[in-house]
Amino acid sequence: MPEEQLLKDGERIDDLELSGLRIIQDPGRFCFGMDAVLLSGFVHASIGDRCLDIGTGTGIIPILMSAKTEAGHIIGLEIQPESAEMAARSVVLNGLSSKIEIINGDIREAASYFEAASFDVITSNPPYMIADHGIKNPDSALAIARHEVCATLEDIVKAAAHLVRTGGNFYMVHRPFRLAEIIRTLSAYNMEPKRMRFVYPYADKEPNMVLIQSVRGGKPRMQVDKPLIVFESQGVYSEEMVRDYGF
């Protein structure tokens, strides 16, 4: 299908600068951020792994994982019909229909879409903010992406724990100010935190993101990776960001 036929009014095609991949985005709705890119680099998926991305939005994480991992099949689940439809067009744009599937659905009803323990790897870049924290329009695409309007942290962890196999991995990016809550919630659903990495905007600032890997039924023991520093100085990305993420 010609590229122009894949685009709707207000949309654009962005080059991901990785393996020729591109993505369709609508700046008037929501565009992916650095957090999704960093999460895709934190994830490990082995040959043939069946993966699920909860709240896939533009489909950015499944698309990046198709190049960065050896996953066999990746499903992106998205509650907003318009976003899911746009993500599906990005899959077609990249010729990835045999590897990536986009489903429009509510993670709170995950048991009706998928069998229990049917995934090896689950990822999520969930809304960071509690629903009533500074929200102006709860029905907007931006609010749904940033605030827990359609699913809470517990909803996402509960679904991940139900859908990932024993010994399978759940990867998430979130905000450090909710870290205690995150660990409590993971533990409550038998998801043992195993690896963590803090992301700092600058070396002398507080972290503004945390990447977490947990294992269903894992034994207690967690590895804390060295910090990831995004900027070396104002407007200058760190060596690691340039080397590993292409910024």
Q: Please write the tens of the pLDDT for every residue from 32-81.
A: 999 999 999 999 999 999 999 999 999 999 999 999 999 999 999 999 99
Q: Does residue 227 lie in a domain region?
A: no
Q: Does residue 17 lie in a domain region?
A: yes
DSSP 69: S
Choose among 180, 164, 152, 157: nearest CA to 216: 164
Q: Say if CB 146 and CB 129 are below 8 A apart.
A: yes
The 10s digit of each residue's pLDDT in 137-192 is 555 555 445 544 568 999 999 999 999 999 999 999 999 999 999 999 999 999 99
Q: Does residue 62 lie in a domain region?
A: yes
Would the CA dihedral through 84, 32, 107, 213 be positive or negative? positive
Q: Does residue 228 lie in a domain region?
A: no
At 174, is the secondary structure helix, strand, or coil?
A: strand
Q: Does residue 212 lie in a domain region?
A: no
Q: Does residue 148 lie in a domain region?
A: yes
Q: Which residues of 133-158 are buried (b: 16+ CB within 10 A; e: fewer)?
A: eebeeeeebebbbbbbbbbbbebbbb
The model carries a pTM of 0.92
The 10s digit of each residue's pLDDT in 182-220 is 999 999 999 999 999 999 999 999 999 999 999 999 999
Cα–Cα distance, 130 to 200 (Å, whole number):
22
Domain count, the chain: 1
Q: Say if CB 87 and CB 102 are below 8 A apart.
A: yes
Q: Say if CB 54 and CB 106 are below 8 A apart.
A: no
Cα–Cα distance, 142 to 50 (Å, whole number):
29
Q: Does residue 179 lie in a domain region?
A: no
Cα–Cα distance, 192 to 41 (Å, whole number):
21
Token output for 174: 């979130």
Domain encompassing residue 73: 3-173+233-245
Whether residue 128 is predicted with pLDDT greater than 70 in this model: the reply is no
Token output for 88: 């599906």
Q: Say if CB 160 and CB 170 are below 8 A apart.
A: yes
Residue 80 identity: Q
- Cβ partners under 8 Å of residue 177, min gap 6: none
Token output for 148: 């827990």
CATH number of the domain that residue 153 is part of = 3.40.50.150
Residue 163 identity: L
At 229, is the secondary structure helix, strand, or coil?
A: strand
- In the block, which residue shows the tokens 């962005």? 14
Q: Does residue 106 lie in a domain region?
A: yes
Token output for 240: 């690691």
| Mean pLDDT, rounded, of the chain | 91
Cα–Cα distance, 210 to 196 (Å, whole number):
7
